[in-house]
Structure 1
Amino acid sequence: MKVLFIGGTGLISTAASKLALQQGVELYLLNRGRREGFVPEGATVLHGDINDRAAMKKLLDGRHFDAVVDWIAFKPEDIERDVELFTEKTDQYILISTVATYQRPPSHYLFDESAPQHNPGWPYAVDKIACEERLLRAYREMGFPATIVRPSHTYGETTIPFAVTSGAHPWTLIDRIRNGKKIIVPGDGTSLWTITHNTDFAKGLVGLLGNSQTLGQAFHITSDEVKTWNQYLAVIGQAAGVKPDAIHMTSECISLFLPEFKGGLFGDVSNSYVVDNRKIKAFVPGYQATTNFERGIRQSLVYFEARPELQTIDEELNARMDKMISSYESFLAGIN
Structure 2
Amino acid sequence: MQRICVIGGSRYFGKLLVERLQSAGHRVTVINRGSARPPVGVEHLVVDRDDEAALGAALGSRSFDVVVDQVCYTPVQAAIAARVFAGRARRYVMTSTIEVYDPATAALPAVPAGTPVPEENVDPSAWPVAMDLPWHDEAYVEAHYAEGKRQAEAVFSRDGSFAFVSVRSAHVLGGGAEEFTGRLAHYTERIRRGEEIAVHANARPTVFIHYQELADLLRWASTAADFTGPVNACSDGLLDVRELAAAVAAQTGREPVHRTVAEGGTASPFSFDRDYAMSNTRAKRLGFAFSHVTDWLPGAVAETVSASATPAT
User: Which residue of structure 1 aligns with residue 136 of structure 2?
Assistant: none
User: Which residue of structure 2 aligns with residue 153 of structure 1?
Assistant: 171
Q: Deviations over 1:11-32 (max 9, x none)?
A: 2312322222232222221111
User: Which residue of structure 2 aligns with residue 98 of structure 1?
Assistant: 97
Higher helix fraction (1 or 2) = 1
Structure 1 CA distance for aligned equivalents of residues 43 and 208 of structure 2:
31
| TM-score, structure 1 normalization | 0.76
After TM superposition, the structure 1 = structure 2 runs for residues 106-117 of structure 1, keeping only pairs within 5 Å, are 106-108=110-112, 109-116=115-122
User: Which residue of structure 2 aligns with residue 186 of structure 1?
Assistant: 200
Answer yes or no: is 1:136 the counterpart of 2:154. Answer: no
| TM-score, structure 2 normalization | 0.81
Superposed displacement of residue 214, structure 1 = 1.9
User: Which residue of structure 2 aligns with residue 235 of structure 1?
Assistant: 247
Structure 2 CA distance for aligned equivalents of residues 52 and 196 of structure 1:
32
Superposed displacement of residue 169, structure 1 = 8.2
SS at match of 1:199: helix
Structure 2 CA distance for aligned equivalents of residues 197 and 81 of structure 1:
31
Asked whether the equivalents of residues 194 and 226 of structure 1 are also in contact (C-alpha less than 8 Å), the reply is yes
Change (3 A) 1:286 1:148: closer
Q: Deviations over 1:127-159 (max 9, x none)?
A: 1111111111102xxx43211111111123136
Deviates more, 1:293-302 or 1:64-73: 293-302
Structure 2 CA distance for aligned equivalents of residues 303 and 167 of structure 1:
14
After TM superposition, the structure 1 = structure 2 runs for residues 8-19 of structure 1, keeping only pairs within 5 Å, are 8-19=9-20
SS at match of 1:80: helix
RMSD, aligned α-carbons: 2.7
Query: Structure 1 vs Structure 2: percent identity of aligned residues?
Result: 20
Structure 2 CA distance for aligned equivalents of residues 149 and 171 of structure 1:
25
1:32 maps to amino acid:
R
Structure 2 CA distance for aligned equivalents of residues 124 and 286 of structure 1:
27
Q: Deviations over 1:91-120 (max 9, x none)?
A: 1111111121125164232211111469xx
SS at match of 2:289: coil
Structure 2 CA distance for aligned equivalents of residues 226 and 251 of structure 1:
23
After TM superposition, the structure 1 = structure 2 runs for residues 216-295 of structure 1, keeping only pairs within 5 Å, are 217-254=229-266, 269-283=272-286, 285-289=287-291, 291-295=295-299
Asked whether the equivalents of residues 92 and 210 of structure 1 are also in contact (C-alpha less than 8 Å), the reply is no
2:152 maps to amino acid:
C
2:175 maps to amino acid:
E
Structure 2 CA distance for aligned equivalents of residues 301 and 168 of structure 1:
12
Q: Deviations over 1:31-53 (max 9, x none)?
A: 111223xx345432211111222
Structure 1 CA distance for aligned equivalents of residues 201 and 214 of structure 2:
28
Change (3 A) 1:24 1:301: farther
Asked whether the equivalents of residues 188 and 249 of structure 1 are also in contact (C-alpha less than 8 Å), the reply is no
Q: How many residues align?
A: 285
Structure 2 portions without partners, runs of 5+: 105-109, 128-142
Structure 1 CA distance for aligned equivalents of residues 201 and 164 of structure 2:
38
Superposed displacement of residue 199, structure 1 = 0.4
Structure 1 portions without partners, runs of 5+: 256-260, 311-336
In our comparison, the structure showing a higher alpha carbon Rg is 1
